[in-house]
Every structure is written in C-alpha cells, then in structure tokens.
Chain A
Amino acid sequence: MLKVRQRSGTGPAGPVPLRHRSRAGSWFESQTRSLFLLPAVLMLVFLSIFPLFVSLYLSLTRFQFVPGGFRLAFVGLANYRKLIVGIEREHFLGALAALSPAFWLVFSLVAIGLLVFVIRSLQMPTAAGRGVAGRMVFALVGGTVIWLLLRTLTPGGRPGSLFTTLIYVTGGIAVQYWLGLMLAYLASQELAGRRFFRVVFLLPMMITPVGIAYTFRILFDLGKGPFAPVWGALGLAEVSWVNYPWGARLAVMTGDIWQWTPFMFIVLLAALESVPTELLEAAMVDGASRWQMFWKVSWPHILPVTSTVVLIRLIEAFKIIDLPNVLTNGGPGTATESLTLHAFMAWRTLDIGGSAAVAYILLFVVTLSATSYISFIHRRVAEVV
C-alpha cells in the first residue's frame, strides 16, 4: 500500500495516480514547447519556404497583363529553355568559341581527371550510395562548367552572366582572403598605430554598397576623377575602362574587394589572436623564422576559420548586384552583368518568369558550390586540423 501511495501520491480527493499526472504534464509540456516554437516555424514557412515555392512556380509561368489585372500563364520549362538553348543563351551562358585542338587537349585532361575522381570514389571502402551519386553529379556539373568556361574565356568566346558571376566570386574571394589575411597579420603584430588601423580597415564594410559604387565610378573616370591629372600625365585621360569588358569587370571586382576585404580582415584577425602564445613561443625557441611561424603554426591553426569565412563569402558573393548596377549598369554591353543583376533587369522589364528562372539557377549554383565546398574542402580542413 505504501508502495502504491509512494507511486501515486495524494490529493485533495484522495490518492491520485502519479502516472496519469505525469502523462498530462508531459503532454502539456510538449504542447507548450510546440506553441512557443510555432511563431518561429510559421515565420520560416511564410518568409522562406512559401516564397521559395511561389518563385519556383513563377519560373514556370509567363506574366501577362489582361484587362483589369494580370495572369500567370503556365509555360513549363520555357523560361529555362530560353536561358540555356534559346534567345537568352548568349546573355546567360555566353558566346562559345570555336572548338580548337588546344581546347580538346585541355578538356581531355580535365575529363580524365574527373573520371579518375569518380572511379576512385566508387572504389572507396566507405562508398555509400548518396556519396557516390553526389560525386557523380559534381563531376558532371564540374565537367560542363569547365567545358563552358574554356569555350567562353578563350579568344572568340565571351562569358555570359553566369560565368561573369563565377569570375567575381572566385577572383574576388581569392584576393579578399589573401589581402585580408595580410592586413590581419600586420594588425596582430605589436606595431605602432595598430589600433587606429584596425578601425580604418573596417570602414569600407560600414559604407553602403551604392556609395562605394559611386565612389569607384568617380575614381575610375580617367577624365574627371580625382586621379585625372595622374592619368592625363600618363596619356590615359582619353581612355575609358568602360569601353573594355575586362576593364569594366576589373573595376567591379576592385570595388567588391575594397568593400569585403574588411570582413575577411576582422574574422582572420580574431582567429590570429586566438593562436596560443605557447605554440608561437615554442616555435621561436626552436629557431623558427617569422615566415615559418606564420606558415607552419599560425596559418594551420586558423584554417577552420579560414574555411568558414570563405564559405560565408562564397554564398554572399554570388548575390553581387549593387556594384555592377551602379558602377557600369551591367555594361559595356552585358559584360559586367552578374546573375542577380540579370534577374533584376529581367524583372524590371516584367519578364517575371525569366527573372525567377535566373534566380532559381542561381540558387542551384550557390547550393552546389557551397555543398561541394563543404564536402571537399571544409570537412577535410576540419579533419586535418
């Protein structure tokens, strides 16, 4: 009886079974948890998942005005076809150079490399279905991208908005990372004025991108900008970078690098300052030079942070729009158009379906790039360190 009482407890109306109360309590507890989570879930559904599905549907439609309003005519994959094989192909993928023996040579080497990569992944003892499929998709997409890159970047070809974006992303991040690391390393040393420079190096990140774009527009105006006398003296006053696609792309990348290097700088500075002094002192005692201390001790130590910061920038950099829009208006021609600017221009001309299709391809490219990066670089770095 005592046992039962201990289990059941007592209440105003006599013994109350504890088991029942516990079930009710846990139900209430779980409901309360769900209730508290519900606003966040609803917000996620309405702000992220719902727009994702709506924009997917939009990419399969054509926006048409009809008396009294508008309608969305279902056109299947027509918007995607237009971008990949239709009239927008050159704008999106670029103009393809003629096939040359040099192209076949380079591409054959790449294809062999990718084939070896797939075969090796099949032979791995831990090869699982999903992992192998992922590697095969990576090899297929990677091969296609390299095929297109080789044909659009060689003489006679011209990159479209997809490859222009890839150039901004890869070129921009590489420079931002090494420049940011260099500045972070300098700012982590016991040098005079380092506090001042820590603040100064951060300033570009705090300026509005449109402001940066206008600043660079003036700076790059060889005939009117603040450096006009310098360009004039060099005989370049009558030369305009906007007339040259690569000059304009370089201008956009310069602005982007100026804006985003501080982000790399601040994160890498924090990472460098977290390197244990014991390690550095031990290296110093062992007679390591400054370069060796950085390369063999500090840099490996900050690799996980490096990998993460590059991943964040990778995802962010794909969305570049403000700089090419204000600085070059996507020109000359369509040379500096990024994917987001391409989508924006399509949207502005009421090609809503085409704009959504570009945005969806961008989503695919970003997801594939980010997952590939995580699988092949980020995890390996984490494992090594």
Chain B
Amino acid sequence: MKRFAGMSLALLLAAALLSVPAVTAAPKQFEGVTVNMLTFTGPQIAEPLQRRGPAFGKLTGAKINVVTVPFSDLYQKILTDMATGTNSFQAFVFAPQWMADYVTAGYLEDVTNRINADKALQWNDIAPFFRDFSATFGGRTYTIPLDGDFQMVYYRSDLLKQAGLKPPATWADYLKIAQTFHGKDLNGDGKPDFGSCIAKKRNAQSYWMVWSVAAGFLQAKGTSEGSFFDLDTFKPLTNNEAFAEALRVYVETGKYGPPDELNWDVGDSRGGFTSGRCALSIDWGDIGTLAIDPKTSKVQDKVGAVILPGTSRVLDRKSGTLVACSTTTCPFAVNGINHAPFAAFGGWSGGINKAAPAKVKDAAYAFLSYMSQPAQANKDVTIGITGFNPYRSSQFKNTALWTKAGMSQAAARNYLGAIQASLQSPNMVLDLRIPQNQRYQQVVLDTAIAKLLAKEINIQQAMKEIFDGWEAITNELGRDKQLAAYKASLGVKR
C-alpha cells in the first residue's frame, strides 16, 4: 500500500511538473496558423522572406511558407489562384503595378485600417512615392512596400577617373563611355571586357530597360504628362522620332555589350558588373549593394551610380518629331538636359488575399508589417542578395546603415544621392498601371524589342508592331476606360 501511495505521489508530482509550462506559457498569437506566400524565384526577394519567416514564427507561432515561381509566371499565377477561387495562397509579394487587375476584381485585402492602427510599421517613414503610388489604388492602401525601385546607371568610378571622364549625363555620353572601355581588360584577368551590360533577355526585364532609355525622350513636362500614351487620344507614344531615337540608342548599346547579351537577365548583368567585366550598366538599386559583398564583388568601392542619363532633344507630341530642349519644351531640364528617372516596377510589395480566413489574413499582415518595419528593413536593404532597395526616409538619412554594411561614406552618399535625385525629380516617369498593363508591356513591348534586338525586324517595324499591338489591346478593353485609368494613375500626390 505504501509502495502504491509512493508511486501515486511520484506520478502526481511528475504530472504537476510537466503541466507547469502549459499553464504558465501563454499561447502565441498565431500558433498553428500557416501563411502560404507566393513570390518569384529568387534568390532575390524570396531570400529575405525565407530567412525571416522562421524568426517571425518563433515570435508569433505562425508558419510562413514561401512558394516561388519564375517571374514571367507570377502575374497570372496570382490572378488565376484568386479568380478561380483556388485561394491556395494567402499572401503575395509582387509588382505593385499589377494592382490594377487585382484590386478592381476585388481580390486584394484593403489594409488601410490595419496600417493606420500599426505604429510599429512607422508608415510615415516610408517615402511618399511608395506610400501614395506603389501601395495605393483609388485612395485606399492594398500593399505594404518592401522595396524601392528606380532604375539608374552604374559606372566604374575607378575607370572613369583614370580616363578623365565624367559619369554619363546623356545617352550620347553613355555610348561614348561604353565605346571607350569596350574590348579592354577591366578586371585584370587578361581577357577583353565590355563597355555596357544590360539585361536584354526576353521574358525578363528588357522592357523596363528600354523604357529607361526612352523615358527622357518621351516625357519632359513633369510626371503628370506620362510617357506611355497621349493624354487626349490614348494613342501610344511609340511611333515617332523620339521613340525611334531611343530604340536606336538601345540597339547601339549592344555593340559594346557581351556577345550573348540577348540572353542576359538582371542576374547576369549584375554578376557581370560586380565581377568587373562591365564599365556601365542599367539596374535598380541592386548593383550598389551587391558591389559591397566581399564574397562576390571585385569592384568594391569602384562603383558609382547616377540618375538615368537624359537628352537635349525631346518629343513634340503634336508633330511627333524631336525638338531641342528649351525652357518651354523641357521645363525641368538641368543644363539643357532633360532627365526622366524611371520608377520601373515600383518596388516589390506585399498584399493579402481577401478570401483568406481572418486569422490567416491577420498573420499575413503581421508578417508583411514585420518585414517592412525598420528593425528588419533597414538591414535588409543593405544586403545585395535580398533584392530590396531603400524606400524609407530613415534609410536615406542614416548613412551609418550603409557604412556598417561595407560601403564607404563617399560610395553611400553617391548611391543614396542617385536614388534620391530620381525620387525627388519632378519629371519622374511612373510605370504603367492600367488594367492589363502586363499585356502591353510584358507581351507586346517585350516581344517587339526582342525581335528588334535579334534583327528580326527593324526600328520602324518594331515601332509599328508596338503601336498596333497596344492599340489592339486598348480597343479590346475600351479606350475611355483605359484612358481614365491612365490619367488616374498619373494624378498621384507626391
């Protein structure tokens, strides 16, 4: 009996001891909640989500499952998942310019109220452009910015200094510098290197690159003028002297590029630049941070960034001809040169599937907010592999973030200065954000440019193909509706 009493006591004690943690530890906020998040095949963008997912899980109990697909599949994968009611993904990290299709169909969760109640997010620290344009549609907020995107030109500061050249201010300068260094050994490996490396692969990023060249020729009178369509007729601005000149420049860059440049995407052009094989490149903010990575970069502290080069001749929309810059034709010109920095893509942003269960939506929002909060974001934007570029005011002001990451003071000032110059430009070019913009750009524009670069068609044929293709889409979707959406997208407060 004594033995039985002793055993019972021991069992009771053991049970009491085992039950202590269950009684004392409070259940985590999102215990047992899984968020399936869709984004594009990394390593960029997916990397920080996958890296920070487990840390967020430890804090909240939520499981973040990041699923990736190739960039060219991402738009339709998101859309078909929601439109067919499959709803296998509860959150998405995508291009905010696609919002026009997702929001008007009622698929994305309105996060305005959540953001207003979220102090940790420090919403007002996010630069106004990304808050008011990238994250907003029709006055309501649908995404949380995780990245800030502007295209810039990168140059090898050491080479230009040695040659006594200045960074390119115009596209003519760009071609001249590219020609100067093309065929010379730029990284000391004894092999000839390239004057210019641009991602020109089809079904990748080429259609943004060509617009970075064209923007300065097409838009001169401020952001609200737009660079894609005529504001009265909604006719494409792609069949005129200015666009022809832009295409000529874009094609000519190929003379000073790698032989297989037509098969290069941004992964290749970034790798080419940071391995020291390229004197110039066009890219978002990524080369700046990739260049400081000691493991992969051969150009540490040898990189400069500058606002996209401009032009001294711009499009006269009435006649369709190129006219010289004057105070009337180019009111924002600097030294007679019209710069039009292109906010290509708009920066990767996170959105939530409206059809997801309430608890999962809460967890998805909490994770996106966590990713964007300064504690995480201010570190992630300094790491090249993340693909995230600065988008918060604190990231522009605090150069210590960048020097800590390995950039010199001068390089940090130069890099952030180029982004800020783009961000603050009154002639910034907004990316296309109208219904089915993906068809205009990723299908028609991209295919025509690919054919032009492959010499399948000439410049005149490419312009006609883009013009006809865009007109066909506009006629199908309704000219008035598209024009109204286009005007609304340009009427942004910045």
- Which A residues have a C-beta under 8 Å from some C-beta of B? 62, 65-70, 82, 86-87, 90-91, 95, 158, 221-223, 238-240, 242-243, 245, 328-335, 345, 348-351
Contacts and interface: CB of A to CB of B under 8 A. Distances in A.
Contact of B105 (A65, A221, A240, A243): A65
18 contacts: A62-B476, A67-B105, A82-B472, A87-B465, A87-B469, A91-B447, A240-B262, A242-B260, A243-B259, A245-B456, A329-B202, A331-B262, A331-B263, A332-B262, A332-B455, A333-B447, A334-B447, A349-B76
Nearest to B452: A333
B454 A332 contact: yes
Interface of B: 72-73, 75-76, 79-80, 83-85, 101, 104-106, 192, 201-203, 258-260, 262-263, 438-439, 442-443, 447, 450-457, 465, 468-469, 472, 476
Nearest to A236: B259
A332 B454 CA distance: 5
Given A329-B263, A333-B454, 8 more contacts: A87-B469, A95-B456, A240-B259, A329-B201, A333-B457, A348-B73, A349-B438, A349-B443
B202 A69 contact: no
A222 B258 CA distance: 12
Contact of A332 (B79, B442, B450, B476): B450
Contact of B454 (A65, A87, A243, A349): A243
Contact of B451 (A66, A87, A240, A333): A333
B83 A69 contact: yes
A333 B453 contact: yes
Closest 9 CB pairs of A and B: A332-B454, A333-B454, A333-B451, A240-B260, A240-B259, A333-B456, A67-B106, A70-B83, A333-B450
A95 B456 CA distance: 9
A332 B106 CA distance: 38
B106 A70 contact: no
A333 B202 contact: yes
A239 B261 CA distance: 11
A296 to B, nearest CB: 48
Contact of B76 (A239, A242, A350): A350
Contacts of A69: 83-85, 105
Contacts of B454: 243, 245, 331-333, 335
A223 B264 CA distance: 13
A62 B106 CA distance: 20
Given A87-B472, A329-B202, A332-B456, A68 B451 contact: no
Nearest to A78: B476
A158 B447 CA distance: 15
B426 to A, nearest CB: 34
B378 to A, nearest CB: 36
Nearest to A349: B443
Contacts of B442: 349
Which of B79, B439, B450 has the most A CB atoms < 10 Å from its CB?
B450
Nearest to A332: B454
Which of A82, A242, A335 has the most B CB atoms < 10 Å from its CB?
A242
A243 to B, nearest CB: 6
B204 to A, nearest CB: 8
Given A243-B259, A332-B450, A334-B451, A349 B439 contact: yes
A268 to B, nearest CB: 36
Contacts of A351: 439, 443
A21 B259 CA distance: 84
Contacts of A86: 472
Nearest to A346: B443
Contact of B260 (A82, A223, A330): A223
Nearest to A62: B476
A65 B105 CA distance: 7
A240 to B, nearest CB: 4
A190 B75 CA distance: 58
Which of A221, A331, A335 has the most B CB atoms < 10 Å from its CB?
A331
Contacts of A329: 201-203, 263
Contacts of B72: 348
A239 B259 contact: yes
A25 B137 CA distance: 73
Which of B263, B438, B450 has the most A CB atoms < 10 Å from its CB?
B263
Which of A69, A222, A238, A333 has the most B CB atoms < 10 Å from its CB?
A333
A116 to B, nearest CB: 37
Nearest to B204: A329
A221 B268 CA distance: 14
A65 B260 contact: no
B41 to A, nearest CB: 14
A335 B438 CA distance: 22
Contacts of B105: 65-69
Contacts of A82: 472
A68 B104 CA distance: 9
A238 B468 CA distance: 36
Contact of B104 (A67, A243, A245): A67
Contact of A242 (B262, B447, B469): B262
Contacts of B80: 350
Nearest to B72: A348
Contacts of B438: 349
Nearest to A243: B262
A332 B453 contact: yes
A331 B443 contact: no
B164 to A, nearest CB: 28
A334 B259 contact: no
A331 B449 CA distance: 11
A342 B262 CA distance: 19
Contacts of A223: 258-260
B480 to A, nearest CB: 17
A331 B450 contact: yes
A129 B190 CA distance: 74
B456 A334 contact: yes
Contacts of A65: 79, 83, 101, 105
A207 to B, nearest CB: 22
A40 B373 CA distance: 58
Nearest to B191: A237
Nearest to B106: A67
B107 to A, nearest CB: 9
Contacts of A334: 447, 450-451, 456
